[in-house]
Structure 1
Amino acid sequence: MKLSVIGTGYVGLVSGVCFAELGNQVICVDKDSEKIKMLNNLEMPIYEPGLKELVQNNVQESRISFTSDIKEAVASSDVIFIAVGTPPLPNGQADLRFIEAVAASIGKYMNDYKLIVNKSTVPVGTGDFVREIVMKHQAEPVDFDIVSVPEFLREGNAIQDSMNPDRVIIGASSNKAAEIMKKLHEPFNAPVLITDVKSAEMIKYASNAFLATKISFINEIANICEKVGANVKEVAKGMGYDKRIGDKFLNAGIGYGGSCFPKDTTALVEIAASVDYDFKILKSVVDVNKKQRFKVIDSLKQIYDNLDGKKVAVLGLAFKPNTDDLREAPSINIIEELIAKNVHVKAYDPIAMNNATKIIRNTITYSSSVLEAVEGVDAIILVTEWHELIEADWFTIGNLVNKKIIIDGRNVIDSDLVESLGFIYKGIGV
C-alpha cells in the first residue's frame, strides 16, 4: 500500500519504517526541516535500538522517504497516518493543535478517497473532530474515512513491539475502512479487534491508566513493606503467580515517567471531568507517582541528618533504559531536590546526557563514565536500570567513593553482593 505518516517522533518514525519493512511504500512527513535533513542523511533524531539499521535498509530498498512536503505526501498516498504529538495543556487536557493543523492540510490537499488514521493518543471524540476539520478545509467534497489505530509500543523496545504487537485495535467508521486496515496489519500476525472509533480511542487511555495503576499500587505496597518489615520483591513475586494479576508492572521503585503514562493518566482524569465524572482512583495513582520519586531522597536523609555540602552520584537520567528520553523522568525532580538541599550532583547516563544538558538547568557535573561519576561521592543513587549500571564494577566503585552508600531506586542491584563489599544498601520496600 501507499502510506504517508505525518510526524516523525517515536510513534511516527517507528511505525513508518516498520510498515516499509513489510513491503509498503511509505512517505514520512515532518514540518521540522532539520529533522527531515537528518533522516535523509540517515541520522536518527531519537535513540532507539535497531532503528537506524532498519531505516538504512528501507531507504536502500526505496521503500521509505522523508519530506516536509505534506501536499505531495497526501496526494500520493492511499492511507494517511496522523502521528503528531498531543502534549498536555496546563490543565492536563491533551493539546490538539498539531492534530488540527494536520487534518486541515489533509482536507486541503486530498484529491481522491483517503483513509485517515489517528495513530496519536487522542481524547475520545477526536475522530469526529478530525472529520469536521477535514471537511471544513476541502475545496470540494471528497470521500474519506476516519480510523483510530492506537499504538502500544514501548520506548527502548519500539521496533519489537511494532513488529510483534500483542493486539491490533482498529476503530473504524465504515466496513471499507476496517477491511483496508485489517489487510495492512495482516503481516503482523496479531489478534485484531474491530471497534467503533470512540472505543478504540478509549482503549489506549484505559490501557495506559491501568498499567500506571499497577505501578502506583505496588509502590504503595512497597512503602508499607518498609514499615512492617516485609520484602516487596517477595510480595510481588507471590502476587505475580496469580494469573488474574500477572507479574508485569509489579516492580517497585520510584515510579513511572516518560511521554505516555504521566500525560495519558492526567488526560483521562480530565476526560472524565469533562463528562462530570470524578475519577478518584486515577487521581490517587497520579498523586502517588509524583511523591514516589522522592523516596530515594527520604532514604538518603535516613542516613544523613544534614545533606548540605554532600556529593551524590545520580546514575541514570533517562526515564527508562534503552532510550534518551527525559520527558517526565524522575531524575529531573530528584536532581532538583538535591540541588535545593545544597547537594553537589555528579551524573552519568550511557545515552541521555546530551538531552539532559538541554533540560536540566541546575549546575551539576556530567561524567563520562560510572567510575568518574562515583569518585569521591558520599552516596550513589541509581535512577535508571541500565544494564551497564546494574552490572557495574562495585568492588572498584567501593575504592573510589568517599562513603559506601547505595540508594537503589529500581531494586535491581545485587544487595547481597554490595553489602558483602561493605556498602550500606537501601532499596524500595526491601
Structure 2
Amino acid sequence: MTVTTELNDVPDLADPETFKAGVPYEAFARMRALPGLVWQPADYGTLTGGFWLATRYDDVAEVLQDSDRFTSRFGNVYPLLNPTGDGPMMKQINHQDPPAHGRVRRAAAKSFGPRVVANFESWIREVVDETLDDALRQERFDWILQVARYIPSRVIAQVLGVPLDRREYIADATIEIFKSLSVEDGGETFGRLAGQVGEYLTQLGEEKLLNPADDMTTVLAQSLQNGELDPVEFQLYAVTLLIAGFETSHTTIAHIGHLLATDPAIRAATARALDEGRSAELVDEFLRYITPAIRFARVATRDTEIAGQAIKKDDVVTVVLSAANRDPEVFPRPDEFDPFRESPKPAVGTGGAGMVFGAGPHRCVGHMLAKLEIRILLEELHARKVVLSMDGEAERGAHHVVNTLVKLPVSATVG
C-alpha cells in the first residue's frame, strides 16, 4: 500500500487563515499528482490528530458515495461538529447516514424537484430585478452586501415562508452560523447559533400549521405533525435548508461579481454563452470554477483504503471539492474558465457543475434552486448590459469550508 504522509512546502490546511489568501489550487494540484492521499496534522477537530485530503475527482466521489465505509455521524466538515458521535447534532441531516438520512431528506425533497423549482422563476426574477434596480442607482456599491447577500436571503426566506420583516435577521444569522464553523470548540458555537435560529423556525412552523401556506416550513411542520420527523429533526433540518440555501448562492454570486469586474476573458465568455443560449452550461462553469464549498469531511468506520492509501478506523478524510473540480482527468484545462468545454468523461451522479453540490446520499437537495438564481442574475445583467469595475480592494474571509468573499466594492455602467 502507498504510505503518503506530509507534503513539504504546503500551507497549513487546518488553519482558516490559510484560506484568506485564496484557495490553494497549486498545492491541491501537487497533491492530486501524488499516489495515495496527503496527511495534514491538526491539533483539534479530528479523532486521530489530523486528516487525510482527497483531491482527485474519483477519490472524492468514492468517499461521498460510500456511507458504509465513511460516515457523516461525527460531522460533515472539519473541525468535526459532533466529535462524540452521539451529541444533539446527530439528528442534523448532514450528520446522518442512511437509512435515517433518507427518511429526513424525503420530508422536504419533493418541494425542491425540477418542476416545482421551475415555478419559482417569475418571482425570483422579480427579486433579481428589484435588487439590481436598487444597486445600480448608486455610483459605487458593495456587491456582497447589495447583491450577493440580498438575492439568496430573499429567495430562501420566501421558499421557507419567512415574513419580510424577519429576512434581514435570517441573512445575519446564517452568516454568523457559517463563521462558527471555524471556531475551535467542538461545534458548541455552531450548535448554539443554529439552535437560536431553530427556535424561531419552530415557532414559525407552529404558525404555519394554523395558517398553512405554499412554502417549505409548512411542508416540514406537517411532516412533524404526522410523525415523519421528530421535533429536533424538524428544527435542525429547517436550519440546514436555510443556511445551505443561502450560502451556496451567496458565495457564488459574490465571486461572479468579482470575476466579471476583473477578468475581460470571463466577461466575453459570459456574453457569448448567453447570446448563444447556453446559460445552463455557463452556470455550471461558474459553479465549477468558483466551487463555493471548499471541502467536506467524513470519518472512516473501519480500516480501509482509498487509491491504495491505508486509512485507519476513525481517521477523518476531507474531500476537497475545490481540488476535484480542477482535476484535469475530468475537466480539460481545469484552471481556465470555459463554459463551452467538453469533459472527457461524465461527472457521474453530480450534474454538469461537477463536484459542487456533493455526491451520493448527501447531494444538495436544493441545487436546482441555486442554479435558477444564478442563471436569472446572469441573464438580467446581460440584458441590462451591466459592466462592473472594481472600486477598491476585494476582501476574503478566513474560512476553510466556504470560499468566502466578505467585501467587493464596485462601480457599474449600464447600457
TM-score where L is the length of structure 2: 0.28
Q: Look at both structures and tell me which one has the larger radius of gyration over its CA atoms.
A: 1
Which structure's relative contact order is higher, taking Cα pairs within 8 Å and 6+ residues apart? 2
Q: Which has the higher helix share?
A: 2
